[in-house]
Homo-oligomer: A and B are copies of this chain.
């Protein structure tokens, strides 16, 4: 639809997740027509991103150093490890400010359909972290879906032999949600997990 680079840029933006052709066009024109938008900075950041970002050698979280900011922080509780599928999950949990332990990023979940088995995940590294006996609880915070549950079940069996408490995040009704609109599985889980008050 457009001459050269404008269309090329729209096409490239359109390859990003959640950006359709119309949004891509809107973004390209915004960059073109907004003098205050620092396009040089965005270009530079994109150019440097993969060079500068590595993954924490301990937990697998994103980091610009060998160990991520959380693993380097001496105030974090080293007896607690929260196992998540993805580095994005670390950020989601950090926002709650509920958890002061460390993380372990698996890099995905077991999914026979997608061809992801336990060997594709950072499970060996998790077992190595647990070997010295410091960790007293492993919280399995994989997603509450088929793959996440399968991964949590696999890990809980694997950790069974160790003298470590293994927990799973609670499933139930979302806070602020409406019982009437909850799906059956979630509502069922909420009944199973009911607590005395």
Contacts and interface: CB of A to CB of B under 8 A. Distances in A.
Interface residues of A, number: 52
A28 B91 CA distance: 13
B65 A3 contact: yes
A114 to B, nearest CB: 14
Interface in A77-121: 86-88, 91, 94-95
A25 B64 contact: no
A27 B18 contact: yes
A44 interface: yes
Label chain A's interface by main secondary structure: helix
Interface stretch (A5-13, A152-160, A182-190): A5-13
Given A16-B27, A28-B49, A43-B43, 5 more contacts: A3-B62, A5-B52, A31-B50, A32-B53, A39-B49
Interface of A: 1-6, 8-9, 12-13, 15-19, 23, 25-32, 37-50, 52-53, 62-65, 68-69, 86-88, 91, 94-95
